[in-house]
Amino acid sequence: MNDEAAAATPSPSAGVMERGGFYNEHSQPQQDAGGFALPWIEEAARAAPVPGDGGLFVIADYGAAQGRNSLAPMRTAIRAVRAGRGAEVPIAVTHTDIAGNDFSALVRLLESSEASYLRGAEKVFAYAAGQSFYRRLFPDGQVCLGWSSIAVHWLSAAPATIPGHIWSPRATGETLAAFAARAEEDWRTFLRHRAAEMRPGARLVVVGGGADEAGDSGADGLMDLANATLQALVAEGALSADEYRRIVIPTYNRTPAEFMAPFGEPDASGGLVLRRHALEVLPDPLWQAFERSGDTAAFAAAATDFFEAAFGPSVLGAALESRDATAGQALAQRFYAGLRQRVAADPASGSCRWRVFLMLIEKP
C-alpha cells in the first residue's frame, strides 16, 4: 500500500480521545488553552442575537470530547446570556464530536459534576451530536453562539503518512504541502458550514491548536520522544515496520496567517468576519508542577498520560484493533512505559509550550 492509500483507510480510532473519561482526567493543558478565551465567549454571548417569541438560544460546542473542558465556557456563556437580553430565553447547548467520541462520559459528567452548567439552571437543555464538524450540523440560521476549543487542528483525515515520523510538523516537502493543503480545505469547509448554521449577528469563538509563523506547534519534542518509542518497538519486534509506517496523527497546527487567510475571501469563509485574534503560548502546567516538586517520575507519568489522552487512540488504534485484547494491552503498556522512560531521561523535550490561536468570529 502506498502512503496515500494507507492514509486513506484510517482506523476508526483516528482523532478519538482516550475513552472511559481518561481524556477528562488528563487534559489540563487543553483546559488552560480554553481558559484564555473565557472573556471572549462572555463578550460573544452578550453580543449574540437573542431569538424572540420563545425561540431557543442555540449554543454549539464543536469538538467537545468528554465535556470537562466545555463546562466553564458553557457556564460563562449561559450567565452572560441570562445577564443580558436573554433572562428568560430557553437555552439549548449541543455538544458535537465525531461518532467514535466517548459521549457516555460527557453525559455522565453533565449529570454528576458539581461544575456542570446544568446545576441549578432554569430552562437550559443539553444535547449531543455525533457527526464531524466538516459537515452541516444544524439547520440554516439556527446557531446563536458557537465555541470550539483545541479541535480544529484535527483534520477530516490525514492526507498522507509521514516518512520516519507520526507528527505533521515533522513532515517535509510534498508531504508537508499535502497536510497544509488539507488543512486549508478543511478550515474553509468548517467556516462555510458554520456560516450557514449561524443566525445573522451570531458569534463564534475558536481556540485553534496552532503554530507560530515558523510552524512551531510547541510540542514537537514530546512527539519526537513518542516517535522514537515506536521505532524502538519496531526494533524489538513488538510492532511491525508496516504498522509503524502507517501511524500518523491526523492533525495540522495552522499558523496565524493560515487561520486568517479565508477571511479575506467571502467565498472561502462563507462571509464570516474575523473581529479579533490573538496568538498565545500556553505555559505547561505539567512542567510547572515538576518545577515545584522536582519529581521526574511524576512529570514523565503526567506527560505520558497527556499524550495518551489526546493522541493514544490515533497512534495505537490500528495496532490494537488487529490484536486480541491481551496482546493489545501488552503492546499499549510497553509503548507507554517506553514513553515514560524517554520523558524521564529528557524531561525538557517532554515539556510542551502549545501555540494557540484565538479568534472571535461574527456573522454580519
Ligand X SMILES: C[S@@+](CC[C@H](N)C(=O)[O-])C[C@H]1O[C@@H](n2cnc3c(N)ncnc32)[C@H](O)[C@@H]1O
Decide if 105 contacts 25 (C-beta within 8 A).
Answer: no
Per CB under 6 A, 69 contacts ligand X: yes
Per CB under 6 A, 109 contacts ligand X: no
* Residues 270-309 as x/- pattern, contact with ligand X by CB under 6 A: ----------------------------------------
Q: Where are the alpha helices (DSSP H) in 237-324?
A: 241-246, 256-260, 266-269, 285-293, 296-321
Decide if 309 contacts 22 (C-beta within 8 A).
Answer: yes
CB of 32 to ligand X, least distance (A): 10
State which of residues 10, 21, 49, 63 lies at the interface with ligand X (CB under 6 A).
Answer: 63
**Three cell numbers written together for 313:** 487512540
**Hey, which residues between 167 and 186 contact ligand X (CB under 6 A)?**
none
State which of residues 211, 222, 247, 310 lies at the interface with ligand X (CB under 6 A).
Answer: 310
Cα distances (angstroms) measured from residue 286 to each of 90, 222, 270, 291, 310: 39, 13, 39, 9, 15
Of 49 and 132, nearer to ligand X (C-beta) is 132
**Three cell numbers written together for 114:** 458539581
Per CB under 6 A, 248 contacts ligand X: no
Dist CA 172 CA 179 (whole Å): 10
3-state SS class at 206: strand
Region for residue 131 given its phi and psi (left: phi exceeds 0; alpha: psi -120 to 50; beta: otherwise): beta
CB of 327 to ligand X, least distance (A): 26
Of 57 and 252, nearer to ligand X (C-beta) is 252
CB of 345 to ligand X, least distance (A): 27
Of 89 and 223, nearer to ligand X (C-beta) is 223
By the criterion CB under 6 A, which residues form the site for ligand X? 15-17, 27, 30, 34, 63-65, 69, 96-98, 101, 132-134, 149-151, 154, 310
